[in-house]
């Protein structure tokens, strides 16, 4: 049997402690899937003010109390606590960094929830977190084979490991997974002093006259992954999609790989999901119906018992990336169809007034909830007929994969991970799992929606499409094996 590896997985969001999006789901499911492959994997995350220690069984550890952490000229204290993430088959140790000023004092993770504006000291907050990761390893006397970093919030960690602690971590391989180039952790150049690095390191740590934590992660890691093969190609060639980092990436292109996520079938599975009204599988698809009723009730939309009106759902961060503008642009055409539409999301406040206006204009058809509600997200996956993701770009995307598992037909823009995980329906051979559209325009989106609505009128053909999606193996096993192989290749210096 291949040697098992020791792995520290570092993330700013880990479900169920903290979640704003897919990163949290991945930081839960992937470590558990890697544990099931036999690795000694542990996760580490910060404890924001909104996380309950009691509910999440977060306990103190004597050895990791009041650890002095330098941040710029100052020193702050980190108390690293212990918890675990679990599924019915395995358990993974979690270390949680706590600190009053940087984390407890803020309910939001990166931005003030009441305004949506980023916290001013995000550079300090995540330098503090990353340094606490290193101190935890040192105090535990644990030098992992692999340190797996995720997104800009951990981008400075590879630099700290290589430039300041390489005596201890020289043999540790560092992998940096980029879940989204949209946010890179860029700060004014004065931020260098807060990172604790010297001006002479500015080139490696900055990009376009700004300190850039993501660039630092790309520069100092042994390997960079993004979260789908198509997105990996897109960001190497398209400056817009890499948000200006294509050149930096190209310098390290031979160390780059795209691995698409899977679905955690312990959490997202209509057969066993405790959060939905009625459980079902592909032999009892009719049991989606009670879930649809609950969704309509929860959103205050009428239930049409005399006709079958398709229900389209979106569960999404509300921002430019997720294609909210296309919904606004297409609203008139979309609402002239015989459909009902439910949207759950929060994010960029500037979209709220126009979205709310739609609820007033089409009260029987369009309903919106601006909040984060995990239970309702599950219910919507179960109850909707179609799930819409008109993303401007999409690194991987989980919701379209959840939709396939729940027999809810995805209608998605052909970009990034959406293109990798949804196959366009072909009426001639009844192949495919959803509907794709090429262009980021309301017209292109409406063409795909029209194709879906047309097919929906034919229940037998629709059911065949639904079953195609439910038949696919979307479990995490494949992706976990790919990461495991990558770790081993890094250890052997063959990647
Ligand atoms: P991203 O990571 O870009 O936000 P993904 O599709 O990969 O997009 O993952 C989104 C995850 O976040 C899904 O699990 C989805 O259900 C969840 N989610 C997003 N917004 C909300 C919300 N308002 N309420 C509940 N869950 C949400």
Mutate to test the pocket of ligand 1, among 398, 405, 415, 474 (most ligand atoms within 8 A of CB): 398
Mutate to test the pocket of ligand 1, among 11, 150, 317 (most ligand atoms within 8 A of CB): 317
pLDDT the model gives residue 21 = 85
Q: What is the mean pLDDT of residues 154-160?
A: 98
pLDDT the model gives residue 305 = 85
Chain-wide mean pLDDT for the chain?
Answer: 96
pLDDT digits (tens, 9 = 90+) for 216-247: 999 999 999 999 999 999 999 999 999 999 99
CA angle 118, 122, 124 (to 5 degrees): 160
pLDDT the model gives residue 364 = 97
pLDDT the model gives residue 338 = 97
How far apart, in Å, are the Cα atoms of 442 and each of 120, 310, 386, 390, 455?
36, 20, 17, 9, 20
Q: What is the mean pLDDT of residues 367-382?
A: 97
* Helix orientation angle between 324-335 and 352-361, rounded to the nearest 10 degrees: 10
pLDDT the model gives residue 1 = 61
> Nearest residue CA, atom 19 of ligand 1?
316
pLDDT the model gives residue 460 = 95
pLDDT digits (tens, 9 = 90+) for 134-144: 999 999 999 99
Q: Which two tokens stand for residue 147?
A: 């340190």
pLDDT the model gives residue 2 = 76
Judge whether residue 100 has pLDDT over 70: yes
Judge whether residue 274 has pLDDT over 90: yes
Residue 492 Cα to ligand 1 midpoint, Å, equals: 36
In percent, how much of the chain has pLDDT > 70?
100
d(CA 61, CA 14): 20
d(CA 321, CA 323): 6
Which atom belonging to ligand 1 lies closest to the Cα atom of 395? 3
Residue 25 Cα to ligand 1 midpoint, Å, equals: 9
Pairing outcome for strands 409-413 and 366-370 = unpaired
Mutate to test the pocket of ligand 1, among 315, 397, 408, 420 (most ligand atoms within 8 A of CB): 315
Judge whether residue 79 has pLDDT over 80: yes
- The C-alpha R_g of the chain, in whole angstroms, comes to 23
Which residues contact ligand 1 via a Cβ below 6 A? 21-23, 25, 315-317, 344-346, 372-374, 377, 396-399
Q: Under a CB-based contact definition with an 8 Å cutoff, are residues 99 and 76 in contact?
A: yes
Q: Under a CB-based contact definition with an 8 Å cutoff, are residues 482 and 475 in contact?
A: no
């Amino acid at each position: 049997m291949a040697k098992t590896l020791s792995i520290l997985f570092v993330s700013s969001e880990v479900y169920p402690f903290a979640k704003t999006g897919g990163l949290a789901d991945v930081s839960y499911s992937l470590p558990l899937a890697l544990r099931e492959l036999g690795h000694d994997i542990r996760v580490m995350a910060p404890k924001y003010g909104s996380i309950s220690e009691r509910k999440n069984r977060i306990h103190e550890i004597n050895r990791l109390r009041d650890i002095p952490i330098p941040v710029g000229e100052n020193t702050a204290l980190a108390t690293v606590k212990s918890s675990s993430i679990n599924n019915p088959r395995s358990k993974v140790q979690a270390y949680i960094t706590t600190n009053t000023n940087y984390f407890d004092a803020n309910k939001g993770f990166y931005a003030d929830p009441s305004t949506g504006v980023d916290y001013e000291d995000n550079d300090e907050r995540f330098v503090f977190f990353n340094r606490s990761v290193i101190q935890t390893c040192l105090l535990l006397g644990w030098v992992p084979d692999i340190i797996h970093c995720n997104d800009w919030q951990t981008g400075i960690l590879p630099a700290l490991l290589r430039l300041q602690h390489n005596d201890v971590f020289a043999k540790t391989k560092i992998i940096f997974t980029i879940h989204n180039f949209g946010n890179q952790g860029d700060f004014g150049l004065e931020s260098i002093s807060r990172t604790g690095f010297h001006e002479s390191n500015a080139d490696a740590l900055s990009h376009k006259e700004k300190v850039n934590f993501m660039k630092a992660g790309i520069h100092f890691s042994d390997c960079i992954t993004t979260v789908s093969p198509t997105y990996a190609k897109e960001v190497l060639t398209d400056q817009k999609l890499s948000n200006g980092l294509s050149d930096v990436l190209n310098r390290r292109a031979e160390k780059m790989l795209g691995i698409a996520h899977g679905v955690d079938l312990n959490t997202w599975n209509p057969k066993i999901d405790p959060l939905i009204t009625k459980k079902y599988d592909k032999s009892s698809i009719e049991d989606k119906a009670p879930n649809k009723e609950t969704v309509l009730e929860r959103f205050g939309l009428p239930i049409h018992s005399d006709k079958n009106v398709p229900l389209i759902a979106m569960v999404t961060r509300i921002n430019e990336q997720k294609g909210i503008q296309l919904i606004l642009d297409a609203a008139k055409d979309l609402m002239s169809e015989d459909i009902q539409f439910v949207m759950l999301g929060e994010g960029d406040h500037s979209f709220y007034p126009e979205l709310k206006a739609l609820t007033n204009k089409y009260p029987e058809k369009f309903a919106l909830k601006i909040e984060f509600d995990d239970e309702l997200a599950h219910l919507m996956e179960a109850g909707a007929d179609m799930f819409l993701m008109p993303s401007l770009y999409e690194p991987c995307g989980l919701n379209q994969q959840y939709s396939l598992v729940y027999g809810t037909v995805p209608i998605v823009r052909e970009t990034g991970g959406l293109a990798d995980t949804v196959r366009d329906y072909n009426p001639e051979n009844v192949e495919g799992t959803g509907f794709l559209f090429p262009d980021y325009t309301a017209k292109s989106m409406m063409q795909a929606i029209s194709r879906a609505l047309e097919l929906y009128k034919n229940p037998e053909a629709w059911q065949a499409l639904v079953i195609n999606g439910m038949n696919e193996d979307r479990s995490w096993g494949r992706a976990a094996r790919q990461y495991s192989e990558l770790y081993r290749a890094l250890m052997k210096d063959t990647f």
